[in-house]
Structure 1
């Protein structure tokens, strides 16, 4: 038995096959002959399972003769695998046996983030030897996830890309020249023309039009994540027009001048099949003008954005643009998050002014998209809500699962009440996450009756698990309610509730009275959830 095999893996495969109806063991012949036949029967399947996924090249290297390779600790405590003599032709025999069984190379990200004394890597000369051995080392690899950023190990990635590769993830070293980047993308197209998913992780290097020209030749792409900065609408529209592309994720800025007319650009491309658009940008405004063009195939269903804190005019412009987008299936998800990147963030002073509140009629314009399941605007902009608008959401979006309007900060312009909130939940049976500021949470007779205090219906929804009412004040006709009383009320209405501080920004956990109350309520709710 080769030492790369592990006893638990072999045991699990043997037990699986022994319990199959067609095995002699299951028919009542528990002898060593039957066991040996079973082991021979599963040997190929066991080898395929063991070698299907590798975290890096080290398992294959360890199958080579033991006098060829060695493992030592470098100055930082990382375990380095290296060759200690020249490689002979016979040393490759086991790699030729096991290599064709490898279908996936997935870099171990958890190991990459662990302390240096627990990390492992290959010595750079090892990659050079492997590259020189064969143009494609693992012919049957279908998925490659590579995070090595040294030049030698990065260019070894070429030896892993073959005609069967359909998924590729890598991080481009910033020091590569433009010619090297273009050459590498050319190699991807030539070696793996059937590539379906491509992820280039974020980098500070911009994406040139020459690279976009090459990427647009990958006609089988269904998913593209491009961490390179794209600066022209022309390039974006070309990529979105790929015939099978369903999802695109871009980490880029798009500096379109305010006086620029998007119709001046040439958008004469085939209808886009794009269904999901993900953006990471500090300025959302220029992208909004492109949404109708990216949806020229009328298939766009989802927009996800990680942006810098936008003004209410930007959010209103985005909502109105989406509301006027026609789609064969209508939008199912709109998620815009402007969470601060560090704890020093504090809301702009104007966030508390009426001028920074999104108008209710703008939000209501989304009611035409009746298939929405996620509506998330986690931004400092606040929404002017009332009970009619909240109830309208429940009527318009019965499939709603997540609703986030604003962020849990002190500037609250909502006039919605707890009664409107309960009406929304009752009309959306799948709703499980709600961040919705209220004018107040009044423990009046109607609410107490609904929670069971007056013999009414106890449970409102068993799906609701995450809630955040911001700094909504809790009132009661019998005096100031305590946190335990509020927690009992919410748990009676929502038995599966886990927290009342869902998606809380750590930078905004201040000591206001409302925040202190909800922190205490949250402790009671979490304690109850642990006791279920």
Structure 2
């Protein structure tokens, strides 16, 4: 492990080494085996290489393999210890464990080897130390743990550290096991910045959530909190004491079934002065009203609302108006907005009755959010939107980058947006990169005639082009002439590769689906014949200098 004389001095700089080793780790041709060999090259390479190699684990098995092989044996498919584990056996284990920064457990099931390790740990420490158990991963920063049994929940005590920054815990354990864990969490991980608690099954009791109410305010460093479980409304009052909270995700589903203390959320002048991102899952859209009052003074950048029950068009209209009327401080800051309605079933006559269609003017209040970059509107209602309304909307969102709008199946009458409207959308939003939009593409004339119609709508001599979009989703849009539609779409989106429609078997839709499939085939054929040089020349001529954020993950 001595330093070779031929190593350039620049490679002795840790930051440069880390950049190189990150590239080695991500490379398909090299990856972890090559990085492991690099760690054995010299002392200067060892620590940086091992810190990347062991940084992220999805299970403890790789560490357990560092224990002496004479400790256990396999007999008839089961694993048992040949002899007790001693402190001296943990030498290599502890060395590599010091490099682990995150442990993300994705499965509730644990193999026999890991179970044996945790069962042996209490035997290594005197009884007085067990109450303050040392962590087997002393430098752990991020932890995701799934506890389907009380025994599995007790194992997490051997992983908690004072330096832990992120914890995502999922538990179905009863309150006699869950409440002690919450108390231990506060005492051990006081510097947590991000916490997600997901309680299900026997963990859902009033006592558990009252314990959460006591725990959360004590985590004064918390910046992000997620509570994915019924009865999360019980936790909400305690959150207002977290003045530094920036992200909040709460699942309020099924709160109506909770018979508890009846704690109400007292609305202060500004309960969340630092809140930027909010994600609320509700039973009914009407329940959003009180939450909008709470968020009135926040400068939100992300606002996601999802509801489980069906909301009639009148309720949707009222909520959209409420958004712009109450979130005044977010008019210039909100960049991500999502309204998702996913009921188990629609009213049986929703397809036939006109009152299930929302007029396009109901969307106009959203123009107040002038910084919008990502808009997702999926509600179980049809939208009577024409090109004029679309142009009025998008003219207020010049930075829009993704638009996912009203493409649920079973409502083919929901739009009057033509290909001319799509061209106008591209002209108003030059940074658009993702598009889901139902269309009225019932074109029957020639390509030349339809192209002139688009130009006349735009009052321009040329059709604007968008070279970022490669795929669009059109739902159950009406269509007549597949060849004309494909040609116009390729004029607007020269790099278009896929046109996707809803795959359903309804008789009303069967002919439309076939025609959209023809559009897709025409687009794919065009791209196959397109010279590669043309794509290279078009390159990045419309790069966006502004930072393009990914859409925030939905769900708590």
TM bucket, shorter chain = 0.7 to 0.9
Partner of 1:472: 477
Q: Is the 8 A contact 1:312 1:356 kept in 2?
A: yes
Partner of 2:467: 462
SS at match of 1:147: strand
SS at match of 2:376: strand
Partner of 1:64: 67
Q: Deviations over 1:29-66 (max 9, x none)?
A: xxxxxx99961221222333333222222222221211
Q: How many residues align?
A: 477
TM-score, length-normalised on structure 2? 0.75
Cα distance in structure 1, aligned partners of 2:215 and 2:39: 53
SS at match of 1:518: helix
1:331-370 matches, cutoff 5 A: 331-339=334-342, 348-370=348-370
Displacement after TM superposition at 1:142 (Å): 0.7
Q: Which one is further off, 504-513 or 236-245? A: 504-513
SS at match of 1:364: helix
Partner of 1:322: 323
Cα distance in structure 1, aligned partners of 2:429 and 2:61: 51
1:83-482 matches, cutoff 5 A: 83-107=81-105, 109=106, 112=107, 120=111, 122-131=113-122, 133=124, 134-172=133-171, 174=172, 176-201=173-198, 203-204=200-201, 205-206=203-204, 208-230=209-231, 232=233, 235-239=235-239, 241-253=241-253, 255=255, 266-268=266-268, 271-272=271-272, 273-293=274-294, 295-308=295-308, 309-324=310-325, 325-327=327-329, 329-339=332-342, 348-411=348-411, 412-442=413-443, 445=448, 447-449=450-452, 457=462, 460-475=465-480, 481=481
Q: Which one is further off, 380-389 or 404-413? A: 404-413
Cα distance in structure 1, aligned partners of 2:186 and 2:453: 62
Cα distance in structure 2, aligned partners of 1:530 and 1:226: 48
SS at match of 1:385: strand
Cα distance in structure 2, aligned partners of 1:143 and 1:164: 9
Cα distance in structure 1, aligned partners of 2:160 and 2:189: 6
- Aligned residue among 42, 50, 62 for 2:53: 50
Cα distance in structure 2, aligned partners of 1:82 and 1:283: 53
Cα distance in structure 2, aligned partners of 1:49 and 1:156: 26
Q: Is the 8 A contact 1:384 1:414 kept in 2?
A: yes
Q: Deviations over 1:464-501 (max 9, x none)?
A: 333233333335xxxxx2x3443233123201223322
Displacement after TM superposition at 1:283 (Å): 2.6
Cα distance in structure 2, aligned partners of 1:241 and 1:142: 25
Cα distance in structure 2, aligned partners of 1:510 and 1:202: 44
Cα distance in structure 2, aligned partners of 1:230 and 1:507: 39
Q: Is the 8 A contact 2:209 2:235 kept in 1?
A: no
Q: Deviations over 1:323-366 (max 9, x none)?
A: 1111254321221223467xxx6674224422122233321011
Q: 1:462 to 1:227 in 2, by over 3 A?
A: same
SS at match of 2:499: coil
Q: Deviations over 1:475-528 (max 9, x none)?
A: 5xxxxx2x34432331232012233226x4768897432222113322333455
Cα distance in structure 2, aligned partners of 1:274 and 1:88: 49
Q: 1:298 to 1:524 in 2, by over 3 A?
A: same
SS at match of 1:327: helix
Displacement after TM superposition at 1:22 (Å): 5.3
Q: 1:18 to 1:149 in 2, by over 3 A?
A: farther
Cα distance in structure 1, aligned partners of 2:256 and 2:493: 47
Q: Is the 8 A contact 1:450 1:456 kept in 2?
A: no
Partner of 1:30: none
Cα distance in structure 2, aligned partners of 1:229 and 1:105: 27
1:15-30 matches, cutoff 5 A: 18=7, 21=10
Task: Give the root-mean-square deviation of aligned CA atoms.
Answer: 3.7
Q: Deviations over 1:393-428 (max 9, x none)?
A: 221111112223322434314333322222122110
SS at match of 1:403: strand
Q: 1:60 to 1:407 in 2, by over 3 A?
A: same
